[in-house]
Chain A
């Protein structure tokens, strides 16, 4: 059986990017919202922008849509410079963060709005709208006005409206924020399905990192107008390039210390009277350089007996247990005052658990479980 080629156009130098940000800067007065950003997004990608509120995600989208002018630099779509192209001439549709549904038009007419601006004939338009209504499960509400439906339904209308024209590039600004968890997951899979079927390139803004991890081919983590890291979801999670990214995505333990390297091992001396933490890294650290060790809670094992073979083991006592159904997170306090989170799957019933509050325990992890970061 032939192996399916992995979708990774960003690793292929011969591949032409669909969207190119070239040294793009955006200022509002003397406030810099986007700072010298260079980024390529490829065709058929599902690209997620992740970052705290106010970091410039919407601004990036609005520049792509043509609603904000670029202060410096160029944005290209399919090789064409977009700086002078008005929004209605761009092969881009946007789903607005505020939905921006037309209050005087029915749901049906809202979805039809974009199609009616094309030369499509009436039958084809009706068929397309029926398809969109079905996709977003809005058939029953077609005749209503936007103020007569719920927030989640409005969001689906906005989604249907932006999808209706089957654009080359679809910008989604927090498309699923108002949906409940179940519907959100369904819609996420629907979005991925749509993306697969239509080959549309998606750029999606989200506050929800789980969502970004689920849907995206690549994730960009932003901070105050800068992109800190762009990588596939698993690379972002397993190999964050900074404590900012490690901390932003998922749960993490971070221990600060001084590095010393010997061979392919790096030792981290982090507290008086505690054994050094041993890790592996491709980075080079000067001896004595400040260094951060980041490790995910699920990579930290917890046990009552002292483990024999672990590369790193530390003694402490249980401070708190967070029971989350399928998993439990143990907060273990070390003698140094550090609190390390360790996660285990709850394969046994709660009543049979062997560890409880105040118990002395061992935590351990291998020398490849964590990452060593210089910032």
Chain B
């Protein structure tokens, strides 16, 4: 009995917090928009008995999904999100790896402090941090003032409300998710492996490529997924830092939902996004499992 409860708990959790919301969204995506509260039809009326349920199912269709294919805004938004997520992930890796590497090489008594510094930003609200970036990146912002002061530029740079600002915001926000798994992989690495590689004729640089990089591969993969997956559906950063030309599916979804009040189309967008995300999530899980096997 206790065993059954133990096993059931995560499934109940999944059922209540993932499957039910998913089914509700799926149902909305199959409905039609309506001027009502809530703004879609048909509604399920259990009191109406069997025939009402039959009517309800008859009212569901795939119209909204068909609609998504007719307007090229949607697939362009998916594609552009994909591109932005991919580039941001690459940037985060490029910046995060050296940080993780130097953290793992730092004297052991410094490591907790460095780790703390990486996590510290999470102590303030995400929104406040994004607003702070608006203050930094705007035409009269700190960055431009500084660059003007140094004389590097004569005119303020337009960064806010462009894709650059979006990249900066995303990389800044998700960098800890890149650093932490790489750091934990590097920290576990035994220094004598590098010594052995050198002993066998490797230079420091080739030892890095032949030993350090392969041994941190699981950390790199985990970090990339942890940045890529949430970035794909990111909505706050592109809408606050990005401009009108910044096209991301999260933003489109928000607009469908709140501006157009077209819940069914918004739900269809969300369902497709979820389906797209399932692939990297499965790959991520597999990577984690592989790592566990390596260690076990």
Contacts and interface: CB of A to CB of B under 8 A. Distances in A.
Given A103-B215, A147-B294, A98 B190 contact: yes
A88 B198 contact: yes
Interface string B175-203: 00000000000000010110111111111
A93 B200 contact: yes
Contact of A102 (B199, B206, B211, B294): B211
Interface stretch (A112-120, A213-221, A253-261): A112-120
B202 A100 contact: no
B82 to A, nearest CB: 30
Contacts of B192: 96, 98, 100
Given A88-B202, A98-B190, A103 B195 contact: no
Contacts of A147: 294
Contact of B199 (A88, A98, A101, A104): A88
B292 to A, nearest CB: 12
A67 B215 contact: no
B98 interface: no
A296 interface: no
Contacts of B198: 66, 86-88
Q: Which of A66, A87, A165 has the most CB of B within 10 A?
A: A87
Contacts of B190: 98, 100
Interface size of B as a range: 10 to 19
B257 to A, nearest CB: 46
A205 interface: no
B194 to A, nearest CB: 9
B230 interface: no
A361 interface: no
A34 B142 CA distance: 56
Given A100-B190, A100-B193, A117 B202 contact: yes
B214 interface: yes
Contacts of A318: none
Interface in A77-96: 86-88, 92-94, 96
Interface string A142-163: 0000010000000000000110
Contacts of A93: 199-200
> Which label, helix, strand, loop or mixed, suits the secondary structure of the B interface?
helix
A65 interface: yes
A66 B196 CA distance: 11
A65 B195 CA distance: 9
Contacts of A161: 196, 200
Contacts of A88: 198-203
A295 B157 CA distance: 90
Given A67-B195, A100-B196, A102-B193, A117 B201 contact: yes
B197 A103 contact: no
Contacts of A67: 195, 199
Nearest to B193: A100
A98 B201 CA distance: 19
Interface residues of A, number: 24
Contacts of B210: 113
A125 to B, nearest CB: 13
Contacts of B202: 88, 117
Contacts of B206: 117
Given A96-B195, A102-B211, A104-B214, A113 B200 contact: yes
Contacts of B193: 100, 102-103
A100 B198 CA distance: 12
Contact of B200 (A66, A86, A117): A117
A114 B206 CA distance: 12
A20 to B, nearest CB: 21
Given A103-B215, A147-B294, A118 B196 contact: no
Interface string B269-296: 0000000000000000000000000100
Nearest to B201: A117
Contact of A87 (B199, B214, B217, B294): B199
A86 to B, nearest CB: 7
Contacts of B195: 65, 67, 87, 96, 100
Interface string B194-228: 01111111110010001100110100000000000
A221 to B, nearest CB: 26
Contacts of A101: 196
B51 to A, nearest CB: 63
A87 B192 CA distance: 13
Interface string A202-228: 000000000000000000000000000
A161 B192 CA distance: 14
Contacts of A92: 199
B296 to A, nearest CB: 8
Contacts of A104: 214-215, 217
A87 B191 CA distance: 14
B198 to A, nearest CB: 4
Contacts of A100: 190, 192-193, 195-196
B200 A114 contact: yes
A104 B219 CA distance: 14
A100 B202 CA distance: 15
Contact of A118 (B201, B211, B214): B201
A87 B203 CA distance: 9
A114 B214 contact: no
Interface in A3-53: none
Nearest to B200: A114
Contacts of A114: 200-201
Contacts of B294: 103, 147
Contacts of B201: 88, 114, 117-118, 165
Interface in B244-283: none
Q: Which of A65, A86, A113 has the most CB of B within 10 A?
A: A113
5 contacts: A88-B200, A102-B211, A104-B214, A117-B201, A147-B294
> When A and B form their complex, which 3 residue pairs have the shortest distance between CB atoms, in order from nearest?
A114-B200, A117-B201, A100-B196
Given A88-B198, A88-B200, A113-B210, 6 more contacts: A65-B199, A66-B198, A96-B195, A100-B196, A165-B200, A165-B201
